Chains A and B, each alone.
Chain A
């Protein structure tokens, strides 16, 4: 057991150690400063600008940013539908995969465009290699969209007063060429040397040692799996995701994938601090996020290492922990750690089946996604956290009788209304979705894999994962039906774009306001006290909204074991 814990501590420590310099680098990239990759990326970017007619020096205000963002995302949805629904006749289809049904294609495309990767299909049997490559494209650009969105926030607080906030396309393209692509290449290289396949040949026929004939799925997986983690997408190449022994062959590859998904979400916080030259604020944000992460991850690891009491009662050697749905090469502790990392961040890749984890581990995974701001997805994590900062500024301002201000900008009714709406949207979508699914058993009852409290958790998890743009699942749920495909597609769309538009609108509005210099009456936002305040707001918003349904699902199951 001890080597498992040491491995986890080392991996997490290494991720933080790498995220610090990366954060500095990211800040430089968006600030247009000189960086190491200029000689390679500069010419590529200039070629892109020239061919597309994008003027990199054209400044945009926050509304123009949003318009550009929404337009290009729409293009991807339309194009993606076309590809997946005609893949049978398109090239790179050695396994003769048929066209996708419309509702599956809709769900798949939307879920990859919004950086969620719910994956109601099975990769081995429902996607051609071309389809896989298209989804890999979306994994890059959806991550870059989130990053380009958060840069608007960065820019809004860099200058004292500003109406224009850089150019969306520039931030977006640089995110691809200078951050996502090089990091993915490094990760993919590490993975192929660990044994992850990267081949364009079809399934291999094999005779086993006992003499059975079997087929083994393979494919250009390494490139896909690298961006799946670097971009916090989480959509796997194979059905079993990172539990698959090709997708994640060794404990070492598991560590690489673990660090890869933590890297940019951690670095983004530091990048914010470097960019607006307020390192103390970044430290406060990082500390609150890490506190939340720790409080979720430690109990989950403990529960998984303890194992299933119902199995322990049968009198076998239960010392390995809860091994149902887990791989021996990772072990219970590492899988428990991953399950929370992948849910606080919006990755949603799994190296063990969450459906089979202990009830309270499942609850912590749900909570991680319900809060969705402890690190969070690439770019959007900071945006989500920003909403909680605004709420905390306002509430603590009222408590101590000071004007609510953040970084020299007055927070007024308009910003508060937006922040409130965005904060309430998340529980609204999750709870309404789950309530409808529970109220309409003719659509959902047959899709559940487990009875009782756990069945409710399966439905709750599906909507929570969709609303958090996470993409993991209680995979026992037979979610490839019209009901699940369409209802989650709606949740996905709303919960991606509104929580991007909201914080950007607030940032844009604040940016154009007059700068108020710090005075004695200013509430300090880079202190531990304020950090606790933000933490309290997060806990209250999440706990109050979700506590009842968690009681009916995982908590009830815990007490029934």
Chain B
């Protein structure tokens, strides 16, 4: 029993398995993907101008749009990542405080206790397409004023955009910010 007796079979086996696992297998999955939404290129949604990925969050900074969550990568979808700040990090705690303060400045009619935590913390991917339902509702007063819409209209719009847990059982309720903003543009072209 010597190592060299195993080297040649090992190399040949590697070559064959490479064929099976990195050519046949991905091609099989790719073939299946041709039947999936958008042929396996990631689901998209369009408004009257452009096409966007539904699942890739975008940066919304303008006052007339519902804002997304803070992002450690500025919603640059060429990369991804979180802040990785530890819960006791003093700088981080200060940063969150700053986010709360600027949220209150941009939404002066909102009480501090109404701001949900997702709106002042960065997501893991930096590309989170969602916010919580409360995260959308807390922005309604601002948007109603800027767009000259009734608050009730906006509440209805937000409620219509709530993504419920599957079968009413699995996972949290949430709102896709991009879809919400596209729907918002549709009811008030500005």
Contacts and interface: CB of A to CB of B under 8 A. Distances in A.
Interface of A: 3-4, 6-7, 10, 44, 47-48, 51-54, 63-64, 67-68, 70-72, 75-76, 79, 122, 124-125, 133-134, 136-137, 140-141, 169, 173, 176-177, 181, 184-185, 188-189, 192-193, 195-201, 203-204, 206-210, 212, 214-218, 220, 222-223, 226, 238-240, 243-246, 249, 251-252, 254-255, 307-308, 310-311, 314-331, 334-335, 350-353, 355-359, 449-454, 457, 474-476, 557, 560-561
Contacts of B26: 133, 136, 198, 220, 223
B54 A195 contact: yes
Interface string B90-121: 10110011001000000000001111111011
Contacts of A196: 42
Given A3-B172, A195-B37, A75 B7 contact: yes
A239 B79 contact: yes
- Give the residue among A134, A223, A351, A358 with the most B Cβ atoms within 10 A: A223
B81 A239 contact: yes
A162 B120 CA distance: 63
Contact of A72 (B10, B89, B166, B178): B10
Contacts of B153: none
21 contacts: A7-B169, A71-B7, A137-B22, A176-B21, A189-B29, A192-B32, A209-B50, A215-B76, A216-B77, A243-B123, A255-B170, A308-B87, A310-B88, A320-B116, A326-B121, A327-B128, A330-B172, A356-B82, A358-B87, A475-B82, A475-B84
B86 interface: yes
B82 A240 contact: yes
Contacts of A76: 14
A4 B33 contact: no
B88 A52 contact: no
A255 B80 CA distance: 22
Contact of B121 (A79, A324, A334): A324
A47 B24 CA distance: 15
Interface string B7-24: 111111110111011100
Given A181-B25, A209-B58, A216-B78, A198 B30 contact: yes
A315 B113 contact: yes
Given A200-B30, A210-B58, A319-B116, 17 more contacts: A3-B168, A52-B16, A169-B13, A176-B17, A193-B36, A195-B43, A198-B30, A199-B30, A199-B39, A240-B124, A251-B171, A311-B121, A325-B84, A328-B118, A328-B128, A454-B86, A561-B87
Contact of A223 (B3, B29, B41, B134): B29
B188 interface: no
A124 B79 contact: yes
B122 interface: yes
Contact of A327 (B17, B120, B130): B130
Contact of A244 (B96, B113, B115, B127): B127
